[in-house]
Structure 1
């Protein structure tokens, strides 16, 4: 196995832990960012608590900061379903994958989708992997435009200051 395989393994575990944190935070009505921070802190004090991969914190924070938009995108692609009807673990997996598709420029779209399908195989129902793959197969089509728009707005230029929001 090459070094990149090992890195993928670490990222996979980080995503899985992010699913756990998002799932737990939703179930207990907690802020997922605070939950992750508490676990990071706890892992530094108690060696029985597994260390938290920095990518886990990045993902949980990214999902939390963009939750409304991520949920809108997911809901727009649920034909005949509502977000509330999905298993909570599927919601967490979809939120992570859509966040990666839109914001994690170091993660190729095919990897984000494959990882989500793998997580669904490990953590959810028998139907979930193909369901998640179908939704993400649609979302991946709009991801390049979303990334480009985010990159354009992340780099303000002087002309933008005087413009109104009309578009």
Structure 2
């Protein structure tokens, strides 16, 4: 598994864990950097992803709510929300990652971790975000 793919998975796991446990994402991130819970520390790109999502949280959630066509954030599966937040940040604020790669990586994450309907939903929503990204940054 490529390094950035692993980092995306770790970032998703951290976002998901914080939500499920009702913890502040930033606090959890700093705790995991200081004292990793696995034998491998968080990859630098995972840290960058989570910090990027945190820095643009309100804008990301607004974009997802606006373009999800009738799906509120609360109605989305928690894994999907985390993948969508990561994908949106990569598409809109990270020029190092091509939009198609960000979409594909998010789809692959939910394909392995979420519902059967999730890949199509995530693909459609992130593709739309990529189309309108110039209005979001």
- Tell me which interval the TM-score lies in, with the shorter structure as reference length: over 0.9
Within the alignment, does 1:109 sit opposite 2:99 as a pair?
yes
Task: Give the Cα–Cα distance (whole angstroms) in 2 for the partners of residues 28 and 65 of structure 1.
Answer: 21
TM-score normalised by structure 1 residue count? 0.77
Within the alignment, does 1:40 sit opposite 2:10 as a pair?
no
Task: Give the Cα–Cα distance (whole angstroms) in 2 for the partners of residues 40 and 30 of structure 1.
Answer: 16
The structure number with the bigger radius of gyration is 1
Q: CA deviation at 1:95?
A: 0.4
Within the alignment, does 1:12 sit opposite 2:2 as a pair?
no
What does the per-residue CA deviation read over 1:105-163, in whole Å, with 9 as the maximum and x for residues that have no partner?
A: 1001111000000001111111100110011111111124545xxxxxxxxxxxxxxxx
Q: Report the number of matched residues.
A: 137
Q: CA deviation at 1:50?
A: 2.2
Task: Give the Cα–Cα distance (whole angstroms) in 2 for the partners of residues 100 and 70 of structure 1.
Answer: 11
What does the per-residue CA deviation read over 1:84-122, in whole Å, with 9 as the maximum and x for residues that have no partner?
A: 000111000000000111111100111100000000111
Structure 1, gaps ≥5 residues long: 1-5, 148-167
Q: Return the structure number with greater relative CO, CA threshold 8 A, min gap 6.
A: 2
Query: Which residue, out of 68, 71, 85, partners 1:81?
Result: 71
How well do the aligned residues superpose, as a CA RMSD in angstroms?
1.5
Corresponding residue for residue 130 of structure 1: 120
TM-score normalised by structure 2 residue count? 0.93
Query: Which residue, out of 54, 74, 82, partners 1:92?
Result: 82
Contact 2:65 2:73 in 1 (8 A): yes
Contact 2:59 2:136 in 1 (8 A): no
Q: CA deviation at 1:81?
A: 1.4
Within the alignment, does 1:55 sit opposite 2:55 as a pair?
no
Contact 1:42 1:49 in 2 (8 A): no
